[in-house]
């Protein structure tokens, strides 16, 4: 039975307006550690990024953060995890992409939105076939999923765009959904 070796998590450097977001981030971080899946993330110590990575670290998991130098002072660096400090956001995103076998988007701001849209664009351009999960906690990403459906319905994207994303509502479902897509098995 195969298992996912690395997961890149995109999420906010804030916790948002619901404690459910942080709890889901911690649940996903612990699940990665328990599954032996390396967590790749944006390197900051704040918000859902810090919650996810801290939970993975505290559960004995492997964590790799990538952060641009200019964000180190703003977001801090989570202690006790491996980090790479890079020059630009572009370098950060490419390194995170290269380190990951799959992606999960938790709630976040404009940067998180930009990251998942870029992944979807790359998938449509056939630059990758890595699974992309949207963790739609409390319906946070429902407007995005609706927009994707709208773009398809209006003829600006192929139906395959919708098939490029896996939408789940619980953190516990992220790894099983990815492994089902990749290997046809469940964690």
Going from N- to C-terminal start, the domains of the chain cover: 8-181
Residue 187's pLDDT band (boundaries 50, 70, 90)?
Answer: very low
- pTM of the predicted protein model: 0.95
User: How are strands ordered across the β-sheet holding 132-135?
Assistant: 82-86, 63-68, 38-41, 6-10, 102-105, 132-135, 165-168
Q: pLDDT tens digit string along 147-173?
A: 999 999 999 999 999 999 999 999 999
| In the predicted structure, residue 61 carries a pLDDT above the cut 60 | yes
CATH code at 8-181: 3.40.50.450
Nearest CA among 129, 98, 101, 94 for reference residue 115 = 94
Residue 102 Cα to chain centre, angstroms: 8
């Amino acid at each position: 039975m195969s298992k996912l070796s690395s997961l890149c998590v995109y999420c906010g450097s804030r916790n948002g307006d619901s404690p459910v977001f942080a709890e889901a981030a911690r649940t996903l971080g612990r699940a990665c550690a328990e599954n032996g899946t390396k967590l790749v993330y944006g390197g900051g110590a704040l918000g859902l990024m810090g919650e996810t990575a801290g939970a993975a670290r505290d559960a004995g998991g492997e964590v790799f953060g990538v952060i641009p130098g200019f964000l180190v002072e703003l977001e801090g660096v989570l202690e006790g995890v491996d980090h790479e400090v890079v020059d630009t956001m572009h370098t950060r995103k490419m390194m995170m992409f290269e380190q990951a076998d799959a992606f999960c988007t938790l709630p976040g701001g404009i940067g998180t939105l930009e990251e998942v849209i870029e992944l979807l664009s790359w998938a449509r351009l056939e630059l990758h076939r890595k699974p992309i999960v949207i963790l739609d906690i409390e319906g946070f990403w429902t407007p995005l999923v609706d927009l994707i459906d709208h773009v398809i319905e209006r003829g600006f994207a192929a139906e395959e765009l919708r098939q490029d994303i896996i939408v789940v509502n619980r953190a516990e479902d992220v790894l099983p959904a990815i492994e089902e897509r990749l290997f046809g098995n469940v964690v």
